[in-house]
A and B are shown apart, each in its own frame.
Chain A
Amino acid sequence: MFTFGDSWYLVLAAIIFAIGAVGLIVRRNPLVMFMCVELMLNAVNLTFVAFGNLLGDVGGQTVVFFVLVVAAAEVVVGLAIIVAIMRRRAEANADDVSLLRG
C-alpha cells in the first residue's frame, strides 16, 4: 500500500515529533517548551495529512483543523500562566518554579 515516496512524509513527521519530545524534556525555558509542544502537534498534523493522502480519505485532512484550534487554545492558556508567573519574578525558568516537591 505504501510507496517509498509517500512514507517519507511519515518519517519526517516522526522525526519532528521526536525533536519536539526531546526538546521539551531537555530545555528549561517554558517558552521554548511550548514551541516544542507545537512542534509535536504539527508533526501529528503532518502524519494525519500524509495518511489521509495515502488512504484517499478526506477525514485525515479535516482532523488538522481541529488540532490547529486546540493548539491555539492551549497556547493562549500557557502564555497566560507564564505571564502570571513572570509578574512575580523577573525571569521565567522551569527550574525556578520548584516549591512543590517531596
Chain B
Amino acid sequence: MSGPSVLAAALQDVLIEPAPGFEVPSIDWAGIAPNLILMLGSILLLTVVSVLKRRVPSWFAPVWTISAAVAAGCAVVPLWQRFADTGPETLVGGAVGLDGFSLFATVVVCIAVVFVALLLADYLPRESLESPEWYVLVLLSASGAVTMASADDLIVLFVGLEILSVAAYVMTAMHRRRVTSQEAGLKYFVLGAFSSAFLLYGIALTYGATGSTNLAEIQAFLAGDVVTQNALLLGGLAFMLVGLGFKVGAVPFHSWAPDVYQGAPTPISGYMAGAVKLGAFAALLRVFVVAFGPAYRQEWQPLVAVLAVLSLVVGAFAAISQTNVKRMLAYSSINHAGFILLGVLAASAAGTESALFYLLAYTFMAAGSFAVVTVVGRTGEHRQSLEDYRGLASVRPGLALVFTVLLLSQAGVPLTVGFLAKLYVVTAAVESGFDWVAVVAMLTAVVSAFMYLRIVATMYFADAPEGAPALRIPAATGVALGLSVVGVLLLGIVPGPVSDWANEAVAQLVVAAP
C-alpha cells in the first residue's frame, strides 16, 4: 500500500466510526483527485485570503486559480492512463464514475476556469470589484461541474448541479453597481431553483419506479425487468428532461438565458456558456444516453428532437433581431445548445463524442467572444450595442481580426473548429436516422451565419464614431484572446489528436462491487 492510501485509511478510521451494520464505502482518493484539487483549491483560497486579508497581493487569487485548474488538468493524465489500462471504474461505493467521459469533461472545465480567471484578473480591477471571492466561486462551481460529469448516482448529480448553480447565481449577481447584474442574478436564481425542483422530482419518480438512484442499477433494472410502474418512470424522465433542459438553455426553457447572459458580468457569461453548459450536457448524456439509452431511447428521443429543433430555430432567428452584441451571443448560445442536443439525440457513442467535442470547441469560442465583449464594453460595460462595434477594425485591427475568427468559427466556416464540431454532431444525428433534424440544423446555421457576418461587417465597413473613449486590451485578456484563437484554429486544422481522444471518451456504467 502506498503512503497516501495508508494515510487515507488511517484518517477514515479516526474520522468515521460506522454505525453497527453500516458499511462505509472505501474512498479512492487518487481516483477523484481532479475534483478534490478544484474543491480544496477553492476552500484553501478562501481560508488564506480570509486570514491574510489585505496582505494578499492582487495577483495571488488569479494565479492560484489558474494553478489549481492546471493541476487538476494534469491530475487527469495518470487517471487517463489508469482508465486506458483497466477500463472504466466506479468509485466511492458506486457514486462517482471514472471513465473517459468524465476525464474529458474535467479537462474542458479546467480550460474554462483558466479562461475566466485570465479575464477576471483584468475585469475586476477595471470595475473596482476586486475581491478573491470571485475566484473561490469559480473553482467551487468548476468542482460542481466535474461532479456532475462524473456522477454515477442521481443524487450525486443533483448535488453537483447545485454546487455549480448556486456559485453561478452568486457570480451573476456580484457586480454590485450594475442593477442589471442583480436583476439577472434574481431571474437566474428563481428559474434555476424552479428547474432544480423539477429535476429533483424527476429523480424521486425514477427512484420510485426503479428502486434506486444509482445509474448502473437503473440501467440494469431497465434492461432486465419489465417495468411495472411505467407511468411513474415516464413522468420521472419528463421531469428530469425539463430540469436539465432549463440548465442547458434549450427552448422552450430558455427564457432566462438571454437576460442572464446579458446582465451577468461578461467574463462570467463566457464561463456560463462554457462550464455551466458542459455540466448540464454531461448530466444529460450520462442519464439519458447511458442509463436510459438502451431501454428507453424510443421514449425520450422525440422529446429531445423537439427541444433541439426549437432551440436551433429560436436561437438563430431571435439572434438576428437583436441590437445588443452580448444578447446576440446569448441567443447564439441557444442555437449552439440545439446543435449539441443533436449529439444527445443520436443516443450513440458517436453522438456522445461529437457532443463532447462541440462542448470543447464552444468553450474556446465563447471564452474568446465574451472576452472581446468585455474589452469593447469598457468600464461599466455600457458599450455593448452593435453601434459600439462600428469601425472597430480601423481602431483596433487585431481585436477585430480575433473577433472575426471567433465569429466565423461559431458560424461553422471550414478550417475553424466550429465547422468540425457542427459536422460531427450532424453526422452523428444522421447516422441515428434523424435526417430531418440535421437538415433543420444546417438551415439554422445559415441563418445564424447572417447574424455573425452582420457583426463582422459592422466592424469592417462602418466608420468609427467620433469621440469614443480609447480601447485598452490588458495583458491577461490579451493572453486569453490569443489562447482562444489558437485553440479555435489549431483544433480546426489538426483536430486529429483531440477528436481521437474524444472518441475514447464514452461514458460507461460499471456496477459497484458489493
Contacts and interface: CB of A to CB of B under 8 A. Distances in A.
A65 to B, nearest CB: 10
Contact of B176 (A1, A84, A98): A84
Given A44-B200, A47-B205, A100 B180 contact: yes
A51 B169 contact: no
Most A CB contacts (10 A, CB to CB) among B176, B180, B190, B204 go to B204
Interface residues of A, number: 43
A4 interface: no
B311 to A, nearest CB: 18
A55 interface: yes
Contact of A60 (B187, B207, B259, B327): B207
Interface residues of B, number: 43
Contact of B187 (A21, A70, A100): A100
Contacts of A51: 204, 207-208
Contacts of A74: 162, 166, 189, 193, 196
A48 B204 contact: yes
A40 B205 CA distance: 14
Interface in A19-38: 20-21, 24, 30, 33-34, 37
Interface class of chain B by DSSP:
helix
Contact of A30 (B162, B186, B204): B186
B182 interface: yes
B173 A81 contact: yes
Contacts of A47: 201, 204-205, 208
Contacts of B169: 77-78, 81
Interface in A41-81: 41, 43-44, 47-48, 51, 54-55, 57, 59-60, 63, 66-67, 70, 73-74, 77-78, 80-81
Contact of B186 (A43, A44, A82): A82
B194 interface: yes
Contacts of A57: 211-212
Nearest to B176: A84
B183 A100 contact: yes
B183 A97 contact: yes
A99 B384 CA distance: 15
| A44, A66, A88 — most chain B CB neighbours (10 Å) | A44
B56 interface: no
A11 interface: no
Interface in B163-218: 166, 169-170, 173, 176, 179-180, 182-187, 189-190, 193-194, 196-197, 200-201, 203-205, 207-208, 211-213
Given A47-B208, A100-B187, A37 B179 contact: no
A5 interface: no
B166 A102 contact: no
A30 B180 CA distance: 16
Contacts of B324: 102
A85 interface: yes
A16 to B, nearest CB: 11
B259 A100 contact: yes
A63 to B, nearest CB: 6
Contacts of A82: 186
Given A21-B194, A66-B155, A77-B169, A99 B183 contact: yes
Contacts of A41: 197, 200
B193 A78 contact: yes
A44 B204 contact: yes
B137 to A, nearest CB: 11
A73 B197 CA distance: 14
B263 interface: yes
A90 B200 CA distance: 35
A40 B323 CA distance: 38
Contacts of B186: 30, 81-82, 85, 94, 97
B254 to A, nearest CB: 14
B201 A17 contact: yes
Nearest to B200: A44
A77 B158 contact: no
Contacts of B196: 70, 74
B42 to A, nearest CB: 15
Contacts of A100: 180, 183-184, 187, 258-259, 262-263
B301 interface: no
A1 B180 contact: no
18 contacts: A17-B201, A30-B190, A37-B190, A37-B193, A44-B200, A55-B208, A57-B211, A60-B207, A63-B155, A63-B213, A66-B158, A66-B159, A67-B200, A78-B190, A85-B182, A97-B187, A100-B183, A102-B322
Given A82-B186, A99-B180, 17 more contacts: A33-B190, A40-B197, A44-B201, A47-B201, A47-B204, A51-B207, A51-B208, A63-B207, A73-B162, A74-B166, A74-B196, A77-B166, A77-B169, A81-B169, A100-B187, A102-B258, A102-B322
In the complex, the 3 A-B pairs of residues with the closest C-beta atoms, listed nearest first:
A40-B197, A51-B208, A100-B259
